[in-house]
């Protein structure tokens, strides 16, 4: 029995993308190492071990998928698609089930191939965001899924270069941080040695106290003529308090976002591998909602504006108390 193509709605795919990125950010925060003691900086784990672990996990996932029948792979892929597990978690997502089905099936499965084409742009966006957040292991995993889906995709080379340069910059930052920690440790040891070798400073001797002079006898009292009564003192006027300082007006920098998902890549643009950008101006109302959305510039016109306007309309910020006008530019690249 053939299975009809399952196309996830654009809004559902966008929600799944935001959820997957949020989980990836949480996981990244949990994996950050605690600061090392001041005694000596900890050496970074060899990259070879990380690569070996990733390869071992990928092999275990491939073995588990290979053990499933075509019907099981098709059913699990369709279920993952309905539940918005598009490209994550590893080993239990629609892309991996459909790729395993492609490998096992003697002839192409139309619904699986169609779903893979639709999911490719979302995996691309997720890999770019993983690179920006420093999660290069996740970016590598998504790059491998995209390479298996379409080995000729023009964006694969750009993603590979971004991962390599990001890893290099991360390693350089770790090296500089280790050198700085080592310099601080040596400087602290040097100060401790100098303090231990310095002689103790004797306390200053108290200054001698001069004797008090003899008190002269009191002078005779001379009667003074009566003086007129003093004039009444002027009544003091209460000081006028300074005017209260006006509360600072909210600015774009002071806004705190609550929910600002990124606009999804339109399906028609993904199919044609189109790129472009949209600049919008909008108002954050006093209660934190977004109003007055206006497209200032779009390139090309008529392709990406609707996705941006619909997404920005759902944004929410902490209530600023007064309206604030913002401008944002969104880039779409394959």
Question: Do the beta carbons of residue 276 and residue 301 sit within 8 Å?
Answer: no
What does pTM read for this prediction?
0.46
The pLDDT value given to residue 52: 75
The pLDDT value given to residue 237: 60
The pLDDT value given to residue 208: 64
Q: Residue 135 corresponds to which tokens in the numbers above?
A: 């999660």
Question: Do the beta carbons of residue 277 and residue 308 sit within 8 Å?
Answer: no
The pLDDT value given to residue 106: 86
The pLDDT value given to residue 218: 55
pLDDT band at 232 (very low <50, low <70, confident <90, very high): low
Every domain range in the chain assigned CATH 3.30.2420.10: 259-332
Q: Residue 153 corresponds to which tokens in the numbers above?
A: 């995709």
The pLDDT value given to residue 236: 57
282 phi and psi angles, rounded to 5 deg: -150, 165
pLDDT band at 9 (very low <50, low <70, confident <90, very high): very low
Concatenating the DSSP letter of every residue in 44-108 gives PPPHHHHHHHHHHHHHHHHHHHHTS-HHHHHHHHHHHHHTT-SS-STTSSHHHHHHHHHHH-SS-
CA distances from 153 to 58, 269, 298 (A): 22, 15, 25
The pLDDT value given to residue 260: 93
The pLDDT value given to residue 39: 45
Concatenating the DSSP letter of every residue in 176-216 gives HHHHHHHHHHHHHHHHHHHHHHSPPPPPPPPPPPPPPPPPP
25-29, 200-204, 219-223, 293-297, range with greatest mean pLDDT: 293-297
**Range 44-49 average pLDDT:** 54
Q: How far apart are the first and last CA of the chain?
A: 35
* Contacts made by residues 295-300, CB under 8 angstroms, sequence distance 24+: 296/327, 300/274, 300/276
The pLDDT value given to residue 228: 55
Higher pLDDT, 38 or 167: 167
The pLDDT value given to residue 53: 77
The pLDDT value given to residue 176: 96
Please state, in angstroms and rounded to a whole number, the distance separating the CA atoms of residues 160 and 163.
5
The pLDDT value given to residue 27: 41
Total Cβ atoms within 10 A of residue 153: 16
The pLDDT value given to residue 24: 43
Higher pLDDT, 6 or 276: 276
280 phi and psi angles, rounded to 5 deg: -125, 150
**Range 204-229 average pLDDT:** 57
pLDDT band at 148 (very low <50, low <70, confident <90, very high): very high
Classify residue 77 as left (phi > 0), alpha (psi -120 to 50) or beta. alpha
**Range 44-53 average pLDDT:** 61
Q: What is the pLDDT of residues 245-289, one digit of tens each?
A: 566 777 777 889 999 999 999 988 888 889 999 999 999 999 999
Q: What is the pLDDT of residues 128-144, one digit of tens each?
A: 999 999 999 999 999 99
Q: What is the pLDDT of residues 75-105, one digit of tens each?
A: 999 999 999 999 999 999 999 999 999 999 8
CATH number of 259-332: 3.30.2420.10
Q: Does 33 score more than 70 pLDDT?
A: no
Higher pLDDT, 20 or 116: 116
The pLDDT value given to residue 202: 63
Question: Do the beta carbons of residue 286 and residue 324 sit within 8 Å?
Answer: no
Question: Do the beta carbons of residue 123 and residue 142 sit within 8 Å?
Answer: yes
Please state, in angstroms and rounded to a whole number, the distance separating the CA atoms of residues 317 and 241.
37
Q: What is the pLDDT of residues 160-204, one digit of tens each?
A: 999 999 999 999 999 999 999 999 999 999 999 999 998 766 666
CA-nearest of 192, 136, 189, 185 to 159 is: 136
The pLDDT value given to residue 36: 43
| Average per-residue pLDDT for the chain | 80
Classify residue 147 as left (phi > 0), alpha (psi -120 to 50) or beta. alpha
* Contacts made by residues 298-306, CB under 8 angstroms, sequence distance 24+: 300/274, 300/276, 303/266, 303/268, 303/269, 303/274, 303/276, 304/263, 304/266, 304/269, 304/276, 304/277, 304/278, 304/330, 304/332, 305/278, 306/266
The pLDDT value given to residue 1: 36
Please state, in angstroms and rounded to a whole number, the distance separating the CA atoms of residues 135 and 32.
11
Torsion of CA 106, 112, 116, 119, to 10 degrees: -160
């Amino acid at each position: 029995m053939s299975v009809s193509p399952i196309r996830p709605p654009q809004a559902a795919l966008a929600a799944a993308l935001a959820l997957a990125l949020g989980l990836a950010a949480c996981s990244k925060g949990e994996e950050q190492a605690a600061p090392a003691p001041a005694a000596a900086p900890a050496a970074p784990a060899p990259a070879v071990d990380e690569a070996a672990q990733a390869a071992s996990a990928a092999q275990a996932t491939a073995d588990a998928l290979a053990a499933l029948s075509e019907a099981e792979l098709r059913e699990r892929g369709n279920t993952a698609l309905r539940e918005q597990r598009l490209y994550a978690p590893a080993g239990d997502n629609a892309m991996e089930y459909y790729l395993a089905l492609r490998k096992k099936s003697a002839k192409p499965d139309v619904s699986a191939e169609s779903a893979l084409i639709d999911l490719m742009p979302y995996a691309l966006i997720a890999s770019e965001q993983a690179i920006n957040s420093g999660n290069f292991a996740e970016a590598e995993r998504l790059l491998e899924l995209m390479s298996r889906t379409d080995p000729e995709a023009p964006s694969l080379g750009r993603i590979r270069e971004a991962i390599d340069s990001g890893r290099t910059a991360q390693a350089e930052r770790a090296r500089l941080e280790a050198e700085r920690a080592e310099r601080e440790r040596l400087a602290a040891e040097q100060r401790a040695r100098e303090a231990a070798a310095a002689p103790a400073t004797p306390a200053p001797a108290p200054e001698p106290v001069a004797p008090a002079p003899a008190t002269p006898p009191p002078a005779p009292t001379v009667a003074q003529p009566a003086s007129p009564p003093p004039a009444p003192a002027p009544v003091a006027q209460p000081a006028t308090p300074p005017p209260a300082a006006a509360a600072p007006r909210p600015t774009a920098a002071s806004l705190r976002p609550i929910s600002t998902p990124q606009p999804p890549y339109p399906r028609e643009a993904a199919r044609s591998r189109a790129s472009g950008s949209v600049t919008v101006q909008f108002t954050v109302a006093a209660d934190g909602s977004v109003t007055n959305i206006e497209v200032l510039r779009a390139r090309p016109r008529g392709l990406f504006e609707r996705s941006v306007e619909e997404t920005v309309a759902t944004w929410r910020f902490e209530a600023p108390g007064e309206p604030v006008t913002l401008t944002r530019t969104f880039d779409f690249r394959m």
